[in-house]
Structures are given as C-alpha cells and as structure tokens.
C-alpha cells in the first residue's frame, strides 16, 4: 500500500513538471518576433531615359502635280493609265495636230541638225585657217608637198563621208545607219581640218588683207552657227510640244483626256505623284506644344505597318490651333528620313517626338516615386528586412523612368507597391 502511494505521488510530479514546461514553451513561442514577408521591389539600375511627346497624324504626299498640255490639238494617243509607274522623260500623251501630221517636221529637224553640223565644220575650218596664219612656215618643198597630198586625200575622204551621210540623213534620228554615217562624217571632218592646218602652216604666206578676211570669215561662221542652232531648237520645241512627258519618276493617279479629244494649251491632262515624297502631319495638344521645337527627332509608328519604325525630324510647327477641334491642337510637320517603299499617302500613324534623353544614368520606374510630407520626392528602400524612407533628388522625368541624381546607389532595392 505504501509503494502504491509513492507511485501516485511520482506520477503527479511528472504531470506537473510537463504542464509547467509546456506553458513555458508556449510563452517562449509567443515572445519570438514574427517574420515580415519581403514586399515586391525593383532595383536601382543604370540605363537610358527618354521624354517624348506623342503626336497622332497621317502621311501626306508633297509632290502630286497636275500636268497640263503645252500645245493645242487633237489627242492621238494616251500612253498611260491610272496606276502606271513612269520614269522621268517618258511620253504620256501624244497630240496629232496638223503640224505633227505634216511629215516635213521630222525632215526639217534632220535638215536643221545637219546644218548645225555643217556650220560647225565651217566655223572650225575658218578658225584653223586663221590660226595657221600664225604658224611658222616651211620653205622646204619636201615638207610642203606631203602636207598638200595628205590634205587633198583627207578632203576626198570627207566628200565620201558627206555623200554617205546624205543617203541616210532622212532616216530616224537614232537609226543605226544614220548614227554610223554621222560619226564617220565628223571623224573625216576632223582629219581634213588637221591636214589643212598642217598644210597651211607649211605653205602659207599671208598678207594683212588675207588675215582681215580670215577674221571676218570666223565672225560670219559664228553667226551662221548660232542661227542654225536657234532654228534647230525652235523645231525641237515645236515637236516636243506635241508630246506630254513625265517630269519625274512617279505613278499616274488620274488621266483626264482620251484619244480623239480636242485639247487646248494649258488644259489639265494627268495627275502624277511621286510616291516617295511623303511627310507626316501630326497634331500636338496645347500642353505639349511648348516642348516641341523644329529640328527635334521623332519616331513614326505606322498603323498599317506595326513592325516598322520610320525616323523623322520636325520641319515645321504651325503656330495656329486647329479651329474645328474642341480641344486646342496644333499641327507639327515631320520630314521623313528614308522612306520605305510600302508607305502610302493617307496612312495613319503615331509619332513619338523626342524632347529629352539621357544615356547610362541611375533610374527607377516613375511608379515607385512617392511624395514626402513636405512634397519632396522619396522612396521606400527595403534594407535588412525593413522599410526605410529615403529622400532622393530627381533629374529628367521620362515617359517610363526618372533619373536619380542622389540618395540611392546602383543595386539598392526600392519597394514597388
């Protein structure tokens, strides 16, 4: 009985000690500090900062003139249609008026061209003959006679070349036979004139009267050549007036005449566009217009070409608000740099006008900057498991980031919530 009582007492002691230990353990747990979860943070890093102004707009073609007929007559042929691509100098419309139908016009031009060649030859001959009068002369007949023979042979060759050219002179101006004959004639003339100058240099003894006569011949030849050139230019102008030519490389937008139609000089005939002559007309709100200046760079994002970014430069700012808009807007014109071939007049776009930029500076996202009680900028820094307020100094406030001038170092973490 005594042993049973001792066992009961011992068991009671164990229960009491266990209860005391458990309560002490619970008090210790309750006294331990609770761990604080780390909030979302962003690092202070180096990088670029851009401040831009967004300006919506569209592309405008700056070179789409209307071409007018330069002569009156009846349209013989319209050589293009809307959408055709043409090159500078390509014929677009040809007239058929009485003067063009007269086949003599082409012959008159060919004759005028030959007359220019012949009068040019005459002038050069007169100039060489006059120059030969100043050459030192040879008294040795063995020098004079070979020079005379060469000159006579060159003269006969020239006559043959002239006859050959006369046989084909009425062919089209660029006909191969006519081109070859004219080249041969010019070469033969040069050889003959050189031989003549050499012969005159050896054999000539000239009086003062002959020298005066030679000077007069040069003056007459010069006047005759000028007259021949003027007549040729007049004929070519009359011929050119019968054909409307493309003044530049472009695309035909509209044709306003048709074959058989009678037209007057100055009548509108074709609208031609240079597809590469594009600029962007954009609009800027009144709050941003003071920031925009001529010469600033811009990036253009075309709605129809979302993957393409076209560089440009501000070329003009229209200093008057757009009257039909409820909110004051101002036109800003952007000159494009390289124009991609798939851009078209009228395409919508958004321009990002570069106002200011910084490279390789300390930065933070704009969203993490807070205001202190006095209104100055500050951030919450996560340091050693604690949130600490940190005053900072800011530089450029960009579209997405702000520049950190002081108060933070690279790599520190700032609370983002």
The encoded tokens of residue 194 equal: 């050189």
Q: Indicate if 197 and 209 belong to the same structural domain.
A: yes
Q: Indicate if 117 and 196 belong to the same structural domain.
A: yes
Compute the Cα dihedral for 221, 224, 226, 232 and give only its sign. Answer: negative
Read off the pLDDT of residues 163-212 as tens digits, 9 standing for 90 and up.
Answer: 998 888 888 777 788 888 888 988 898 888 888 877 766 666 666 777 78
Q: Indicate if 231 and 147 belong to the same structural domain.
A: yes
pLDDT at 100: 47
Q: Indicate if 268 and 314 belong to the same structural domain.
A: no
d(CA 391, CA 400): 20
Read off the pLDDT of residues 315-348 as tens digits, 9 standing for 90 and up.
Answer: 999 999 887 767 889 999 999 988 887 889 999 9
Q: Look at residue 196 and tell me if it is in a domain.
A: yes
- Averaged pLDDT, 356-370: 94
Q: Indicate if 56 and 138 belong to the same structural domain.
A: no
Q: Look at residue 18 and tell me if it is in a domain.
A: no
When pLDDT is cut at 50, 70 and 90, the band that residue 238 belongs to is low
DSSP code, position 173: T
Read off the pLDDT of residues 56-110 as tens digits, 9 standing for 90 and up.
Answer: 999 999 999 999 987 788 888 899 999 999 998 888 998 875 444 455 666 777 7
> Which residues fall within 8 angstroms of residue 57, CB to CB, at 6 or more apart?
280, 281, 282, 283, 332, 334, 348, 349, 350, 351
pLDDT at 195: 82
Residue 352's domain spans which residues?
50-60+276-415
Q: Look at residue 227 and tell me if it is in a domain.
A: yes
Q: Indicate if 234 and 247 belong to the same structural domain.
A: no
Q: Indicate if 82 and 132 belong to the same structural domain.
A: no
- Count of other CB atoms within 10 angstroms of residue 81: 9
Read off the pLDDT of residues 378-388 as tens digits, 9 standing for 90 and up.
Answer: 999 999 889 99
Q: Indicate if 189 and 264 belong to the same structural domain.
A: no
Closest among 363, 406, 412 to 51, alpha carbons compared:
363
> 321 exposed, middle or buried (CB, 10 Å; 0-12, 13-18, 19+)?
middle
Q: Look at residue 357 and tell me if it is in a domain.
A: yes
Read off the pLDDT of residues 267-322 as tens digits, 9 standing for 90 and up.
Answer: 999 999 999 999 999 999 999 999 999 999 999 999 998 888 899 999 999 999 88
Q: Indicate if 282 and 376 belong to the same structural domain.
A: yes
d(CA 326, CA 254): 36
Q: Indicate if 281 and 411 belong to the same structural domain.
A: yes
Q: Indicate if 163 and 262 belong to the same structural domain.
A: no
pLDDT at 140: 57
d(CA 354, CA 54): 9
> What is the H or E stretch that residue 69 is in?
none
Provide the number of structural domains found in the chain: 3
When pLDDT is cut at 50, 70 and 90, the band that residue 135 belongs to is low
Read off the pLDDT of residues 6-50 as tens digits, 9 standing for 90 and up.
Answer: 555 455 555 555 555 555 555 655 555 555 688 999 999 999 999
Q: Look at residue 114 and tell me if it is in a domain.
A: yes
Q: Indicate if 296 and 393 belong to the same structural domain.
A: yes
pLDDT at 295: 95
CATH number at residue 343: 2.40.30.170
């Amino acid at each position: 009985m005594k042993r049973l009582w001792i066992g009961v007492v011992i068991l009671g002691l164990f229960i009491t000690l266990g209860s005391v230990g458990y309560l002490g353990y619970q008090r210790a747990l309750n006294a331990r500090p609770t761990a604080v979860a780390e909030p979302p943070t962003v690092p202070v890093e180096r990088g670029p900062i851009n401040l831009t102004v967004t300006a919506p707009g569209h592309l405008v073609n700056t070179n789409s003139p209307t071409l007018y007929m330069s002569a009156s007559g009846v349209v013989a042929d319209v050589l293009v249609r809307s959408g055709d691509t043409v090159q500078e100098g390509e014929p677009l419309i040809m007239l058929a008026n009485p003067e063009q139908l007269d086949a003599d016009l082409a012959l008159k031009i060919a004759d005028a061209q030959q007359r220019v060649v012949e009068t040019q030859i005459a002038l050069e001959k007169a100039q060489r003959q006059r120059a030969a009068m100043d050459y030192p002369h040879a008294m040795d007949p063995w020098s004079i006679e070979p020079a005379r023979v060469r000159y006579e042979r060159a003269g006969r060759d020239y006559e043959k070349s002239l006859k050959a050219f006369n046989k084909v002179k009425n062919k089209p101006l660029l006909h191969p036979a006519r081109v070859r004959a004219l080249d041969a004639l010019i070469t033969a003339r040069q050889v003959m004139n050189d031989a003549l100058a050499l012969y005159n240099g050896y054999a000539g003894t000239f009086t003062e009267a002959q020298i005066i006569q030679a000077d007069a011949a040069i003056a007459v030849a010069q006047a005759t050549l000028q007259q021949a050139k003027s007549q040729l230019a007049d004929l070519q102008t009359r011929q050119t007036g019968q054909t409307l030519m493309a003044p530049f490389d472009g695309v035909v937008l509209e044709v306003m005449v048709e074959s058989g139609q009678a037209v007057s000089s100055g009548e509108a005939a074709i609208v031609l566009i240079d597809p590469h002559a594009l600029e962007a007309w954009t609009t800027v709100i009144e709050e941003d217009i003071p920031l925009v200046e001529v010469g600033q760079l811009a990036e253009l994002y075309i709605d129809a070409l979302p993957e393409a970014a076209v560089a440009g430069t501000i070329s003009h700012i229209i200093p008057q608000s757009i009257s039909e808009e409820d909110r004051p807007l101002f036109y800003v014109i952007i000159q494009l740099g390289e124009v991609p071939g798939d851009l078209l007049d009228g395409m919508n776009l958004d321009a990002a006008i570069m106002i200011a930029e910084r490279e390789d500076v300390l930065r933070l996202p704009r969203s993490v900057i807070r205001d202190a009680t006095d209104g100055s900028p500050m951030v919450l820094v996560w340091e050693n498991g604690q949130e600490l307020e940190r005053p900072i100094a800011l530089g450029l406030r960009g579209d997405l980031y702000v520049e950190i001038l002081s108060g933070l170092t690279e790599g520190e973490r700032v609370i983002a919530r």
